[in-house]
Amino acid sequence: MSKAPDNGPERPRYFLRPEFFGGLLYDTVEKDYFRLDPLATAIVAGGAQAVSPAMIREHESSAEEVLELQAYLDAIGATSRTRILADRSRPDRLSAPLRVFYDISYRCPEACAHCFTDSDQADPNELALEEKLSFVDQMAEMGTFRISIAGGEPLASRDLFPFIEHALARNVDVSLSTNGTLITERNAKRLASLGVRTINISIDGWDDESFGRVRGYGRLKYVVRGVQNLRRWYDGKISAKCTLMTTNLLGLDRIVAFCKALGFDEVKFNCVREAGRASDQPTLIPSRIEYLLATKALAEIVKRGGDGVKIVMPVNPYLGDHAPDVDVISELGFGCYAGKESYCINPVGDVQPCSSFGRDRFVDGNVRDRGLQDIWLHGESNLAFAGLSGASECKSCKSYDGCRGGCYLRSYGATGDLNGLDPYCYEHDPATRPKDQPRMVVRRAPVAGAAPVG
């Protein structure tokens, strides 16, 4: 880099984060990350003159291409309106997460049977507003410009709106996941005026029976009212979030039609996780074959155009031949985000690679007494998750690029090993796995307060 770190214009449009593959450029207007290779990174940082002939050879480029790249980056303002963040790049992983998942409070007026965070009442130790704002400031300094807020029910937190306001002022893009019941006209207008980009509303059924079995009978009408309020006042993207459970696997097309009728822009599917209250509801958890059939049914809906709505498939499922052309690996392509592209902050400020492991497991520290950057780079649990790459079967699996090892929560739940075989693996049925096959053992990150396990 030819420029000193942390420099740039007073009001930058872009932020550049040096990374091992080059750099990540965040566009504060479009609210998107762009992955830059070393050539593009060097040009953003120092112009075409920063590109040496050796770099051109190494990256199989040409002087002509470098000039074209410079012209493009000049035209979009990347060479003049970029603030370059301090170089904290690591040889093998991101220097900071792309995104933070933040559960703002455990408070929730609903009582869903499958709640992953076991939410009900607020924890008296939840972060104060000042503490919340402080970690968002850290995110901006790290170059982490996305936060996904959930809970509990985030709209039940009095800190939600000032928190969103602060995040957006620091260029941290906000998406919100809510059960929808508290989206009054007033709240819909406030969300619209703040500029929240995406609002996700949980829709796990298509009528009061299918919805109510998990989320409470009679509750759907309040969700529908919330969606209608939002649709009336809010121009951003409204997504339905559907958790695949045994209660809805046979009605996926009906859920899509229901969401379309309500005016959702897209429907995102993910599978129920054995976490929180769902751990006590084994009948909600699909079997392997049920899950595979459900993903096949979803793939069919995608193939016929989503029935008029954009469909987002479950994160890193094993689709095999069901859907070879359907994108299932998002962001930078690591598969599971935990420790690789994101981490989670729970309402009391504890930081974990994945919050679905429960409130006390794989905690790397608390934002009250440890910096977010330090946790990302040195947190023991975070590093352990960053090193996960799937089971031994995954090493030679032809579908590895379609899943990259699957869900480590499921693997851990089924085998006690984070690098165990995902029980929903499409290619390898765990039931037929040889019993004497040696298991890969990843050094377990410690449970908070306990001695590390070797």
Separation of alpha carbons 127 and 125, rounded Å: 6
Residues with Cβ within 8 Å of 449's Cβ and at least 6 positions away in sequence, in order, are: none
Which residues inside 187-206 make contact with other proteins, applying CB under 8 A?
198, 200
In the complex, least distance from residue 92 CB atom to other proteins, rounded to whole angstroms: 5
Separation of alpha carbons 85 and 3, rounded Å: 10
In the complex, least distance from residue 43 CB atom to other proteins, rounded to whole angstroms: 9
Could you tell me which of 84, 50, 82, 83 has the C-alpha nearest to residue 66? Answer: 50
Asked if 92 is part of the footprint of other proteins (rule: CB under 8 A), the reply reads yes
Could you tell me which of 285, 335, 332 has the C-alpha nearest to residue 314? Answer: 335
The piece of 68-76, 229-237, 290-298, 441-449 that touches other proteins (CB under 8 A) is: 68-76
Cβ-count burial of 60 within 10 angstroms (0-12 exposed, 13-18 middle, 19+ buried)?
A: exposed
H helix intervals, 154-305: 160-169, 185-194, 208-215, 220-233, 252-262, 288-303
141 token code pair: 């300094």
Q: Are the C-beta atoms of 404 and 390 separated by less than 8 Å? A: yes
3-class secondary structure, 300? helix
CB atoms within 10 A of CB 25: 22
144 token code pair: 């982490």
The piece of 104-112, 186-194, 290-298, 385-393 that touches other proteins (CB under 8 A) is: 385-393
State which residue, 29 or 289, has the beta carbon closest to other proteins: 29
In the complex, least distance from residue 170 CB atom to other proteins, rounded to whole angstroms: 18
Q: Are the C-beta atoms of 369 and 348 separated by less than 8 Å? A: no
Which residues inside 243-282 make contact with other proteins, applying CB under 8 A?
268, 270
State which residue, 7 or 330, has the beta carbon closest to other proteins: 330
Strand-strand pairing, 342-345 and 198-202? unpaired
Q: Would you give the binding string for other proteins spanning residues 284-313, x where CB under 8 A is met? A: ----------------------------xx
In the complex, least distance from residue 237 CB atom to other proteins, rounded to whole angstroms: 11
In the complex, least distance from residue 209 CB atom to other proteins, rounded to whole angstroms: 27
State which residue, 148 or 366, has the beta carbon closest to other proteins: 148
If residue 68 lies in a helix (H) or strand (E), which one and from where to where? helix 63-75
Separation of alpha carbons 182 and 187, rounded Å: 8
The single residue among 317, 320, 335, 358 that binds other proteins, judged by CB under 8 A, is 335
State which residue, 41 or 138, has the beta carbon closest to other proteins: 41
Asked if 409 is part of the footprint of other proteins (rule: CB under 8 A), the reply reads no
Asked if 327 is part of the footprint of other proteins (rule: CB under 8 A), the reply reads yes
Asked if 93 is part of the footprint of other proteins (rule: CB under 8 A), the reply reads yes
State which residue, 224 or 406, has the beta carbon closest to other proteins: 406
- Residue 224 CA to chain centroid, in angstroms? 25
The single residue among 11, 53, 54, 75 that binds other proteins, judged by CB under 8 A, is 75
In the complex, least distance from residue 389 CB atom to other proteins, rounded to whole angstroms: 4
Which residues inside 122-151 make contact with other proteins, applying CB under 8 A?
146, 148
Residues making contact with other proteins (CB under 8 A): 19-21, 24-25, 30, 32-37, 39-40, 65, 68-69, 71-72, 75-76, 91-94, 98-99, 101, 146, 148, 175, 198, 200, 268, 270, 312-313, 315, 325, 327-335, 340, 386-387, 389-390, 404-405
